[in-house]
Amino acid sequence: MSPETLVNLSIAPFTASNPLSQAEFDEYVMTTYGRFPLTLERGSGCRVWDDQGREYLDFVAGIATCTLGHAHPAMVAAVTQQIQTLHHVSNLYYIPQQGELAKWLVEHSCADRAFFCNSGAEANEGAIKLARKYAHTVLNIENPIILTAHASFHGRTLATVTATGQAKYQKDFSPLVPGFHYVPYNDIAGLEATIADFDRHQRQVAAILLEGLQGEGGVRPGDRAYFQRIREICDETGILLIMDEVQVGMGRTGHFWGYENLGIEPDIFTAAKGLGGGIPIGAMLCKSFCNVFQPGDHASTFGGNPFACAVALAVCNTLEQENLLQNVQYRGGQLRLGLQKIAKNSLRSFKKSGVGG
Ligand SMILES: Cc1ncc(COP(=O)(O)O)c(C=O)c1O
């Protein structure tokens, strides 16, 4: 079939005109998610509609992912243009869209180099591998330990679920990956004691992997003094500071990166979720001094392909052009005030009802 014939075929887009029932869906799809009995069919901006035509304000945004909302014209244009041009080639060749995206990320962060993959877990896997290679080849550590925090979340692959300091995600998946140890979040004394313990006889601690704000762990913001002291420790010892920006990055806190709220720069950081605005892409970025990967050390078939990179670049450019960081700050302030008002009113009516004594 010639390309002309293909273009002229009227290909029906997927619509849920004859959808499987939710019970039928469960017959075919593994039950790894506790799903709400809800089927969303369409989205526009920050609103979505279900299959009954009901409208919702989308606070979930694909879990911190739809940076530009739904069906943003910039994304539609990037998707359409790139799929019609060249959607996938191997990393055996130069990919201009990948280079452009890396340039944008480097110019808008503290990093010098980027590696692309497909998800947050995969980005964190890359960071863990980079830190281990740095430990072996630069720090001369034979059995490197990476410290992570209790209540953290770093993904569901075997290494990242081990890095995740929550037993409920690890249950039934042992043996876990060796080389991880958990410390309490925002507790500098605990961290210093743990490093001293591990490094008493020979150096073992290679990296500290943290979120700048714990998302899945209950929305717990990082303490500035804690992170600034960690930065000092890392500078003094050569331990690498890795920040997981998968959930807080890409403008979610009113800055491009969550670490900007803490007044520090990580040595390595990871991004995914909002980076592609809903198109799967992840990135692992690092400073030059720890850029120790050589050809063959790490790879991903889909990572950084023209399609994902062109769309992510459109997301990044739009974030800037539409001044979305300012909007995040404004809306964040508005939400905070509203929530404080609700809390105050509920406290008042609680006291009035006399239940509180
Ligand atoms: C902080 C953080 N890191 C990593 C991940 C894993 O990302 P993904 O689901 O894209 O693998 C998540 C997902 O929720 C996350 O919140």
More confident call, 32 vs 350: 32
Catalytic residue among 244, 267, 293, 307: 244
* pLDDT tens figures, 108-148: 999 999 999 999 999 999 999 999 999 999 999 999 999 99
Our answer to whether residue 269 is catalytic in this structure is: no
Rounded CA gap, 311 and 258, in Å? 22
- Look-up: residue for tokens 């001094």? 289
Go through the domains of the chain in sequence order and give each one's CATH number. Answer: 16-59 (no CATH), 76-320 (3.40.640.10)
CB-based contacts of 352, cutoff 8 Å, min separation 6: none
CA contacts within 13 A on the Cβ side of 274: 25
Q: Give the atom of ligand 1 at the shortest distance from the alpha carbon of 63.
A: 14
pLDDT of residue 355: 59
Say what the pTM is: 0.94
Assess contact for 211 and 222: CB atoms under 8 A.
yes
User: How crowded is residue 333: how many other Cβ atoms within 10 Å of its Cβ?
Assistant: 11
Give tens-digit pLDDT for 194-241. Answer: 999 999 999 999 999 999 999 999 999 999 999 999 999 999 999 999
Q: Which of 116, 153, 180, 293 is catalytic?
A: 153
Average pLDDT for 54-76: 97
pLDDT in tens, 4-29: 444 444 555 556 567 899 999 999 99
From CA 314, how far away is CA 73, in angstroms rounded? 10
Q: What angle do CA 273, 167, 149 make, to 5 degrees?
A: 60
**Pocket of ligand 1 from Cβ distances under 6 Å:** 119-121, 124, 153-155, 211, 215-216, 244, 246-247, 272
What is the tally of helices (H) and strands (E) in the chain?
12, 12
